[in-house]
Structure 1
Amino acid sequence: MHITVIGSGYVGTTLSACLAALGHEVTAIDIDTEIVETINRGRSPVSEPGLDELVATHSGDRLRATTDYGAVEESDVTFLAIGTPSYADGRIDLGGITSAAEALGESLAEIDADDRPLIAVKSTITPPGISEVRSALEAGLGDGEVELATNPEFLREGSAVSDFQQPDKLVFGTDSAWATERLQELYEPLAADVPTIETDPETAMMIKYANNAFLATKISLVNDLGNICKEFGLDAYEVMDAIGLDDRISERFLRSGVGWGGSCFPKDVDALIAAARGEKYTPRILEAAVDVNDRQPKRLLDLLDEHVDVADKRIAVLGLSFKPRTDDVRNSRAIPVITGLLERGARVVGYDPVATESMRERIPEIEYADSAAEALDGAAGAVVVTDWEEFASLDSEFEAMAEPIVVDGRRIVEPTDELTYEGLTW
């Protein structure tokens, strides 16, 4: 099939490269010429394991990039994969996706109605927002008809390629059998043993929000229970290992720590809360999940305060990305940790295997190290915020600290007799 993907950020690039790997002819459309040139040179514009290899393999063959919306003329399915950032009150900003939808509609106006592609929203937008995207599409079109479907993504940063290639479900939100059949044809190479949910566009997108809200709430509940375990002098991980044996609970997402971040959980939970409040409903459990998550970085710093007065002391922050295997620092728990340390007067030095430059753009006023050993050298304390695998092998590096004090927010550092070690929930 001929596919166009409008938007070449994290989701759009992953989608484009993975669809090309399935054998489709894919054109990625983006207004950023640098991104377009990067893809056409065979490189991914975002850091994601396995994505560079896919782009390199298929660029110039089944994958190309352009700034020209005219590419939709040959398309069977056109995806909208535009970012939807949040306003301060949690509502999502639909400006980018509605602008893209209107521009897409203008391009579709040049195509005979019977030859127009199916338009599928891959961006995460609340169910009420779908009508706004549809209206923008129709405004650009002027007259005639085009079908708008939703096909939410369930990708995790750090494993997005494998998540696409081995999905736990496919969700098609359509208003016609024709649209459903077209999505079925598109995903046919993946669909043999994968549950497929066929529903309306609004319900499909609600599935996406409910999925992320549930997982975020589960993590916050585990963190709350972990905090209780810490107060009782118990190991939360031993407790969670036991309850994870209950098949109603499962062992996944039971690792307590400094909280969740990234582009999905915080934005999606906040957007769902804001949308619910817009309907005069107060989602108290979701609000509590956010509150618990927001408190975890402070608890990490409170534990550090018990061991060292950080004022004018060198303090190492190990891990800057919101999770390992990505350079994404959006809503990283390192941000409130660094902010809290600066408020206490600490001299902060941060280290991350891949996310240093991303964090430097956001917080330029702290020192950044090129290695964990450099960050720890002379430090009066260290906090672990991201569970990068290399932190598990740290040992002699701690000997160079002025005071070997480590507060671990991810249970990744191995405690030793030489370390003053505190776990956040154990």
Structure 2
Amino acid sequence: EFLREGAAIRDFKHPDRIVVGTDDARAREVMEEIYRPLYINASPIMVTGRRTAELIKYAANAFLATKITFINEMADLAEKVGADVQEIARGIGLDNRIGSKFLHAGPGYGGSCFPKDTLALIKTGQDHEAPIRIIETVAAVNDARKRAMARKVSAALGGNLRGKTIAVLGLTFKPNTDDMREAPSIPLITALQDMGAKVRAYDPVGMEQAKSELKNVTYCADPYSCAERADALVIVTEWEQFRALDFRKLAETMAQKVVVDLRNIYGADELARYGFSYTGVGRG
């Protein structure tokens, strides 16, 4: 299955493609009958062997994880040379061979699918003496990136987080779910705490799940109570409600007017009007 978390019903009804893995003729007939209403409506169906179907699933998610990791590394380079990763993503995404999806720089991928399937593909390659070195590197780079975001927060506050209070907005690995599996917020917050920071956090639906993963965090009722007396506000998950924050109100309650936007929702000029120092991802 290629269903996205938070959009499973829509994806089931309107799939890009249907891949059936079977070595049995009767099973093939049954599966084609089940999916007939979908592929009659122009969703292509591919019937193949079980091993091939399994690798199709792993390869698809590993490719998307690679695309995310690629644009994240381009973001790091953009910061060094004074370029804008969002313009880079748009420029290469206009190439039909590449496309614009999964070219959004951020704190790294998480969730239940990409981490699991990349590691499964890596293990399959190792077991059969055909290592997938590109995906091995993707997984390693992504893991390191999540903790590296804490260094970005530290740099925004002058390189020292000891005794500082950091407000984190967004805990789940993506919006519109309460899933905390492999969420970038977990290694980020752990790293902030290791650097001596106190962490306050808010997520619209994920806080109960987060409590089992993240200890010694003050969980708050809304973005504004989270930001009270904070030295920096860090946006980790791009929930819709975080796209229209009242920065005039935040400026009145925060100890320092510092925003670290790991999803590039806002811009430096926009926040400068309220006196905020702004750090995005890949915007040199």
Output the TM-score relative to the length of structure 2. 0.93
Q: Does structure 2 retain, via aligned residues, the 8 Å contact 1:389–1:412?
A: no
Q: Does structure 1 retain, via aligned residues, the 8 Å contact 2:150–2:189?
A: no
Corresponding residue of 1:168: 16
1:228 partnered with 2:228: no
Structure with more of its chain in helix, by fraction: 2
1:301-325 Cα deviation digits (max 9, x unpaired): 2222123222122111111000000
| Letter paired with 1:207 | I
User: Which of 50, 58, 64 does residue 215 from structure 1 map onto?
Assistant: 64
User: Which of 317, 321, 336 does residue 187 from structure 2 map onto?
Assistant: 336
| Letter paired with 1:188 | R
Q: Does structure 2 retain, via aligned residues, the 8 Å contact 1:329–1:355?
A: yes
Q: For 1:6-405, what aligned pairs fall within 5 Å after superposition?
A: 153-192=1-40, 193-308=42-157, 309-394=160-245, 395-399=247-251, 400-405=253-258
Structure 1 unaligned residues grouped into runs of 5+: 1-152
- Tell me, what secondary structure is at the counterpart of 1:421? strand
1:208-261 Cα deviation digits (max 9, x unpaired): 001101100111111111111111111100111011111110111111111100
Task: State the distance in 1 between where 2:234 and 2:22 align.
Answer: 47
Corresponding residue of 1:406: 259
- Tell me, what secondary structure is at the counterpart of 1:188? helix
Task: State the distance in 2 between where 1:397 and 1:363 align.
Answer: 28
| Letter paired with 1:405 | V
- Tell me, what secondary structure is at the counterpart of 2:102? coil
Q: Does structure 2 retain, via aligned residues, the 8 Å contact 1:299–1:424?
A: no
Report the structure number with the largest CA radius of gyration.
Answer: 1
Residue 390 of structure 1 and its aligned partner are, at CA, apart by: 1.0
1:34-92 Cα deviation digits (max 9, x unpaired): xxxxxxxxxxxxxxxxxxxxxxxxxxxxxxxxxxxxxxxxxxxxxxxxxxxxxxxxxxx
Q: Does structure 2 retain, via aligned residues, the 8 Å contact 1:376–1:397?
A: no
Residue 162 of structure 1 and its aligned partner are, at CA, apart by: 1.0
- Tell me, what secondary structure is at the counterpart of 1:189? helix
Structure 2 unaligned residues grouped into runs of 5+: none
Corresponding residue of 2:279: 422
Q: Does structure 2 retain, via aligned residues, the 8 Å contact 1:223–1:292?
A: no
- Tell me, what secondary structure is at the counterpart of 2:47? strand
Residue 281 of structure 1 and its aligned partner are, at CA, apart by: 2.7
- Tell me, what secondary structure is at the counterpart of 1:416? helix
Task: State the distance in 1 between where 2:81 and 2:145 align.
Answer: 17
- Tell me, what secondary structure is at the counterpart of 1:190? helix
Q: Does structure 2 retain, via aligned residues, the 8 Å contact 1:349–1:367?
A: yes
**Greater relative CO, 1 or 2 (CA 8 Å, sep 6+):** 2
Residue 298 of structure 1 and its aligned partner are, at CA, apart by: 3.2
Q: Does structure 2 retain, via aligned residues, the 8 Å contact 1:379–1:402?
A: yes
1:260-300 Cα deviation digits (max 9, x unpaired): 00000001101111121112232211111112212322332
Task: State the distance in 2 between where 1:413 and 1:378 align.
Answer: 21
Runs (4+) off by over 3 Å: none
Residue 398 of structure 1 and its aligned partner are, at CA, apart by: 2.2
| Letter paired with 2:162 | A
| Letter paired with 2:259 | V
Output the TM-score relative to the length of structure 1. 0.63
Q: Does structure 1 retain, via aligned residues, the 8 Å contact 2:171–2:202?
A: yes
Task: State the distance in 2 between where 1:331 and 1:297 align.
Answer: 10
